[in-house]
Amino acid sequence: MLLSKSFIPILKNNPSEAKIKSHQLMLRVGMMKQASAGIYSWLPLGFKVMKKIEEIVRQEQNKIGAQEILMPTIQSSEIWKESGRYEDYGEEMLRIKDRQNRDMLYGPTNEEQVTEIFRSSLKSYKSLPQLLYHIQWKFRDEIRPRFGIMRGREFYMKDAYSFDISDEEAFYSYNKFFLSYLRTFKRLSLTAIPMAADTGPIGGNLSHEFIILAETGESKIFTDKRIFDLNTNETELEKNSLEQMRKKYEQYYSVTDEKFNKDEFEKVVSEENRLITKGIEVGHIFYFGDKYSKAMGASVDLPGGKKDFVKMGSYGIGVSRLVGAIIEAKYDDKNEIMKWPSSVAPYDIALVPMINKNDTSALDKAININKELIKNNIDSLIDDTEENFSSKIKKMNLIGAPYQIIIGKKSEGDLLEFKEIGKDTQNLSLTKIIETIKKQKNSN
């Protein structure tokens, strides 16, 4: 893609209305644009990143056997009246009347909708377990939408739902999602810590929030530092291994302020291991048994002829919030360098030819290099403008492709001036560069 033809409206300076670095950067490089309070249009750069995050989330859901569906954004109030949440949800729910004067709503979450789908289709324990998910826009009329897409009113969420025959089986499903969350955040190059959480309006008795550390986060957290050293890469999708994995995390004290108890914290965590800081909630999983299935009559036939309500859990990931969360974790705002993890970078590499009015040979060279990159499935952004070198690099540093090739005096013959963003340059052949990028991409 040529920069001159791209839709990347870059601002010279940080917009003053943005208080945290993700909001600043997203406005600065035109990743999104506010449409109204807490509601955004996604522009090409931001949309590319979000779609890549979405795809990783999807792959990791599929790996644990979850099946993708797509439920609507607009729901009927009837099912919410059945569950009792139509009144309880309060002002965060956007209520709409259709032309027949029926009460509709823009879904803030989908427990009711998915329970309705389940109860009308499946009747036997033999169909269990079922793990269903969708990736869809949600609307919550947040009282204080802020920090850009981090706390929007309209936001993009992956929400999954599990249906099981017993508590024991339901915990197995819960643990599958627990593992898939750890894997997902790792592929996004984030360290997300599972923390015991309150179940809030969703209700129920087992819940974890997945939180990444960030000074600007809205969740206050209290943890035993040793939890950061855990690694679960090799865990198998088998009942006992998953149980062990969750226990490994649960052995360390790790809670948000809703669950915090000072005496307990000081008793179980030695002083040198205590960490009190802030974080961003990027995911939240709940087990709530038959809360919705009972209220809405979602039952299955059991082996002996009896019936029972299915045991359910729900599992959310803030896909749009993750764009901001990754920026909070990776943006060096002092030096104005964004280092996108290669798994979600909007472009794999930036090409920066030094162009003079009467000499376009560097641009020609960049275009030839790009032909090779395209053959190798490497997506590049070429700065074909005549701006001076330092402002070109500044811009590419903000856009944040993980690698850069500078095509000028030092890129003579076969050796190109190449660098990983924010690091020193080296001279490499195009073949070597392609190899390096492909290796990095394959490791995602």
CB-based closest residue to ligand ATP: 318
Cis amide bond preceding 129, omega within 30: yes
Q: With respect to Mg ion, which residue has the nearer C-beta, 256 or 380? A: 256
CB of 207 to Mg ion, least distance (A): 8
State the CB neighbour count (10 A cutoff) for residue 406: 23
Our finding on whether 157 is near ligand ATP (CB under 6 A) is yes
Residue 84, helix vs strand vs coil: coil
The position carrying tokens 């499946």 is 122
Our finding on whether 284 is near ligand ATP (CB under 6 A) is yes
Residue 48, helix vs strand vs coil: helix
Binders in 229-288 for Mg ion, by CB under 5 A: 284
Q: With respect to ligand ATP, which residue has the nearer C-beta, 320 or 397? A: 320
Among Mg ion, ligand ATP, none, what does residue 282 contact (CB within 5–8 Å per kind)? ligand ATP
CB of 192 to ligand ATP, least distance (A): 10
Alpha carbon distance 149, 321 (integer Å):
6
Our finding on whether 158 is near Mg ion (CB under 5 A) is no
Among Mg ion, ligand ATP, none, what does residue 289 contact (CB within 5–8 Å per kind)? none
Alpha carbon distance 344, 338 (integer Å):
12
Among ligand ATP, Mg ion, none, what does residue 140 contact (CB within 5–8 Å per kind)? ligand ATP
Q: Where are the beta strands (DSSP E) in 257-394?
A: 274-289, 299-301, 307-309, 311-318, 331-332, 337-338, 349-353, 380-382
Greatest alpha-carbon span in the chain:
86
Q: With respect to ligand ATP, which residue has the nearer C-beta, 30 or 283? A: 283
Among Mg ion, ligand ATP, none, what does residue 404 contact (CB within 5–8 Å per kind)? none
CB of 95 to ligand ATP, least distance (A): 18
Q: Under a CB-based contact definition with an 8 Å cutoff, are residues 313 and 170 in contact?
A: yes
Work out whether the CA dihedral 395, 344, 210, 268 comes out positive or negative.
negative
Q: With respect to Mg ion, which residue has the nearer C-beta, 284 or 392? A: 284
Q: With respect to ligand ATP, which residue has the nearer C-beta, 142 or 420? A: 142
Alpha carbon distance 188, 230 (integer Å):
17
Q: With respect to ligand ATP, which residue has the nearer C-beta, 282 or 382? A: 282
Our finding on whether 151 is near ligand ATP (CB under 6 A) is yes
Alpha carbon distance 72, 113 (integer Å):
9
Our finding on whether 281 is near ligand ATP (CB under 6 A) is yes
Our finding on whether 153 is near Mg ion (CB under 5 A) is no
Q: With respect to ligand ATP, which residue has the nearer C-beta, 114 or 128? A: 114
Q: Under a CB-based contact definition with an 8 Å cutoff, are residues 243 and 175 in contact?
A: yes
Our finding on whether 282 is near ligand ATP (CB under 6 A) is yes
What's 222's DSSP letter? E
Binders in 119-138 for Mg ion, by CB under 5 A: none
Binding mask 130-149 for ligand ATP (x = CB under 6 A): ----------x-x-------
Alpha carbon distance 380, 20 (integer Å):
28
Binders in 167-196 for ligand ATP, by CB under 6 A: none
**333-361 b/e (C-beta count within 10 Å ≥ 16 → b):** eeeebbbbbbbbbbbbbbbbbbbeeeeee
Binding mask 282-301 for Mg ion (x = CB under 5 A): --x-----------------
Q: With respect to Mg ion, which residue has the nearer C-beta, 284 or 330? A: 284
The binder of ligand ATP chosen from 152, 194, 217, 353 (CB under 6 A): 152
Our finding on whether 103 is near ligand ATP (CB under 6 A) is no
Interacting span for ligand ATP (CB under 6 A) from 116-124, 262-270, 281-289, 355-363:
281-289
Our finding on whether 321 is near Mg ion (CB under 5 A) is no
Binders in 304-323 for ligand ATP, by CB under 6 A: 316, 318, 320-321
Q: Under a CB-based contact definition with an 8 Å cutoff, are residues 422 and 335 in contact?
A: yes
Instruction: Kindly state the tokens that stand for 154.
Output: 């309209």
Q: With respect to ligand ATP, which residue has the nearer C-beta, 24 or 370? A: 24
- Any idea of the CA torsion for 48, 423, 356, 394, to the nearest 10 degrees? 60
Alpha carbon distance 161, 313 (integer Å):
6
Our finding on whether 40 is near ligand ATP (CB under 6 A) is no
- Any idea of the CA torsion for 87, 90, 94, 95, to the nearest 10 degrees? 30
Alpha carbon distance 405, 403 (integer Å):
7
Work out whether the CA dihedral 209, 214, 218, 220 comes out positive or negative.
positive
CB of 206 to ligand ATP, least distance (A): 14
* Binding-site ranges for ligand ATP (CB under 6 A): 109, 140, 142, 151-152, 155, 157, 281-284, 316, 318, 320-321
* Binding-site ranges for Mg ion (CB under 5 A): 284
